[in-house]
Structure 1
Amino acid sequence: MDPLREKIFQVNALLIAAVFFIIIYVLNWLGYVMKKKMVQGKPERDLSLGTAEGALMGLMALLLAFTFGMASSKYESRRQTIIDEANLLNTALFRIKLYPDSIKKSMLGDFKKYLDARIDYWDAGDDPVKINAALNNAGNYFNSFWNDNALLINDPNNRSRAEQLVPVLINMKNMVTTREAGRVSTVPSLIILVLLILVFVASFLTGFGLKPGSRNPVFSIAFTIMLSVALYIIMELSRPRQGLINLGFAEKEIVDVRKNF
């Protein structure tokens, strides 16, 4: 993920939405004030925007819906990935329990440490240092019980159990990569930038398109709130480890795997 975006992710989405609210409202007001001054200087001049304002608003709405859909799709993909990993962890745990007690005890110890590392991966939030530490710990614990299981394939008494566990472990390892790729996969910065430019320009032109004396503060505030809320929801969907719209309910499925020890 872009280092700048990682820093922005540390800022509360509500605070960013509040900043957007102020910017949108001020731009709307500035557009109205500019129109009013220009009309006062040359009252006969036609400063109406015509269809341009409607076209710009339509373009903004289209990009807003597109961005919202993209953020929502990525959110759902992350949720499904967490559920899939929880299922793999459960499968691996129950297959490990099929080993004799002498082997099972050692492998369960490494597996529990691996599970704790995966839980730490979620608890790290959007802190890149803690996330990398959790990934490294999980990798080390995984390698430990992978090597133990690989040795058991040469044991005729445990070969069948070890071979059945191999594909589950491979899928677990791949799921770590999938989840991390999903975490850093966000709505492209260029799309966000273009969306913000359209929102700000549309806010200004909405105010500029009003006739002097016809500005309704209630409408302006409502317009500002709706745009700010839409941007806020997009931000929430893009940072599912924090905020009101998060994936904590899905992560609970991984935490609940501990109950099976």
Structure 2
Amino acid sequence: MNLDFIPIWVLLAITILLVLFSLEGGYRLGHRSRRKSEDEKESPVSAIAGSILGLVAFVMAFTFGIVTDRYDSRKGLVREEANSVGTTYLRTDFMAEPDSSESKTLLKQYVIDRLDFTERIRSGKMSQEEYSAGMAKAGGVHKRLWELAVINARKDMNSDVAALYIDSLNGLIDLHALRVAVALQARIPMAIWLSLATLTFLGMLAVGYQMGIAGSKRSLVQPILAISFSLVIALIASLDRPNASFIKVSQQPFVDLLNSMK
């Protein structure tokens, strides 16, 4: 389960409202407690609120570290896969015809399909059936390329050239699987999202409570605090999504590769 069905701007608005609701709820509880009794001191509450906010900051930093590391990995994998496809494409020249031409055609179409698949993923409109069809098509190309490689390798089992081509093709297939795993399947666990939401709610509740028992009035700083926390959470969610429309991994290596193919 993930939150991809919720647009980022909606998630941002919901988070802001959650923080404001928590602050207001805590403020009212603190104000009511202050009217009933003057015994509760502000200092212990301040320490507790600070501890909870420290936990919120820790979980945010931990989660942000996860998504930024994966974002960097996605960028690196795009370059590596494009280089692997390009190397495989060049080494098809060592194959006999018509296998060489067929392999080049398959690889060129493979690059086109990769770019199209990525664009449709980003649009957020790709259905599960389309996703499965795209994966199946890529698997079919891999299978056919491997069949052609085996046919040519069997003509000369001691050929170093055939070994080089098979090595690059094997790398292409492995990088495809790794890129799918990192970009589409490795996501922030729901348990972390729930922990972050719960700690944020409790932290803001404690801050509001502290303001209430201190007898201070509602401040314009509260919306600023709510927006600040919510922006970080929305940024984490955007980096976590493969269909992010705000923060994208450049596909320029594949575009350049496609332009270089004859």
- Structure 2 length-normalised TM: 0.88
**CA drift at 1:43:** 3.8
Matched with 2:195 is 194
Check whether the contact 1:17–1:228 (CA below 8 A) recurs between aligned residues.
yes
State the alpha-carbon separation in 2 of the partners of residues 246 and 18 from structure 1: 22
More displaced 10-residue stretch of structure 1: 209-218 or 165-174: 209-218
Which whole-Å CA distance do the structure 2 matches of 1:160 and 1:39 have between them? 83
Aligned residue runs from structure 1 range 55-94, under 5 A: 55-94=51-90
1:9 alignment counterpart: 4
1:67-216 equivalence runs, <5 A: 67-99=63-95, 102-125=98-121, 127=126, 128-156=128-156, 159-182=159-182, 183-211=184-212, 213-216=215-218
* RMSD, aligned α-carbons: 2.2
Tell me, in whole angstroms, the C-alpha distance in 2 between the residues paired with 1:149 and 1:22: 58
* Paired position in structure 1 for 2:243: 241
In structure 1, give the amino acid aligned to 2:85: L
Task: Confirm or deny: 8 A CA contact 2:48 2:206 kept in the other structure.
Answer: no
Aligned length: 253
Shift of 1:160: 4.6
SS of 1:97's partner is helix
* CA distance in structure 2 between the partners assigned to 1:239 and 1:50 by the alignment: 36
Equivalence for 1:252: 252
Partner of 1:45: 39
Amino acid at match of 1:138: A
- Is 1:227 paired with 2:229? yes
Equivalent position SS for 1:154: helix
Preserved CA contact (<8 Å) 2:85 2:172: yes
1:160 and 1:63 map into 2 onto residues whose CA distance is 52
Matched, 1:21 2:16: yes
Separation in 2 of the partners of 1:92 and 1:63?
Answer: 43
Q: 1:238 to 1:29 in 2, by over 3 A?
A: same
Specify the code of the residue in structure 2 equivalent to 1:144. Answer: R
2:19 is matched by which residue type in structure 1? I
Q: How far apart, CA to CA, are the structure 1 residues paired with 2:38 and 2:145?
A: 82
1:33 is aligned, of 24, 28, 40, to 28
The one-letter code matched in structure 1 to 2:200 is V
Q: Distance in 1 between matches of 2:259 and 2:239?
A: 30
Measured in 2, the distance between the counterparts of 1:79 and 1:130 equals 24
Q: Is the 8 A contact 1:34 1:208 kept in 2?
A: yes
Give the unaligned 5+ runs of structure 2.
none
Q: Is the 8 A contact 2:95 2:152 kept in 1?
A: no
Percent pairwise identity: 21
Q: Is the 1:121–1:135 contact (alpha carbons within 8 Å) kept by the matching residues of 2? A: no
Q: Which has the higher contact order (CA 8 A, sep 6+)?
A: 2
Secondary structure at the residue paired with 1:244? coil
